[in-house]
Amino acid sequence: MPPFPTLPIANADTKPFWDACAREEFLLQRCLACQAYRHPPSSICSACLSDRCEWVRAGGEGTVYSFTVVREQSARGWDAMVPYVLTVVELTEGPHVLTNLTNVRPEDVRIGLPVEVTFAELEDGAKLPLFQPRGAVA
């Protein structure tokens, strides 16, 4: 997969997530009040509105919940990546993650496909979590 044309920008809520990705760890926030996992990271729990949370290491596994194959792209930089599979992964812990599916032919993707996290190194050394079919060779 070609380099990504835009890089993630960390803020106070997302910095622990991106720092963990740099170490190739996949973290989720978990609410200390109701134990709900959440993604993307935020300052309050959408289940109970508590502002108390902890970061926990996630299993990094899930299934394809939804997807689309992007075959045309006119935005500068993204056009070199087509076709790519834009995917919503339902994590084992429950949250859904919007991501790219890699190491798979678009025609082989299906709802329910078991997937696992993998990390792509970006130009600045940051690492972006992507997902691939479970057991695929990166």
How far is the C-alpha of 134 from the C-alpha of 116, rounded, in Å?
A: 5
- Token pair recorded at residue 128: 């972006």
The total number of structural domains that make up the chain: 1
In a domain, 69, yes or no: yes
In a domain, 9, yes or no: no
In a domain, 127, yes or no: yes
In a domain, 103, yes or no: yes
In a domain, 110, yes or no: yes
In a domain, 1, yes or no: no
Contact residues for 24 (Cβ-Cβ < 8 A; gap 6+): 119, 127
Structural domain span for residue 59 = 15-133
Residue in the structure block whose two tokens are 């902890």: 54
pLDDT of residue 5: 58
In a domain, 3, yes or no: no
Whether pTM exceeds 0.85: yes
Residue-wise pLDDT for 34-45, tens only, equals: 999 999 999 999
In a domain, 96, yes or no: yes
Residue-wise pLDDT for 44-87, tens only, equals: 999 999 999 999 999 999 999 999 999 887 766 666 778 889 99
Q: Kindly report whether the peptide bond that precedes residue 83 is cis, defined as omega within 30 degrees of 0.
A: yes
pLDDT of residue 138: 64
Percent of the chain with pLDDT over 90: 72
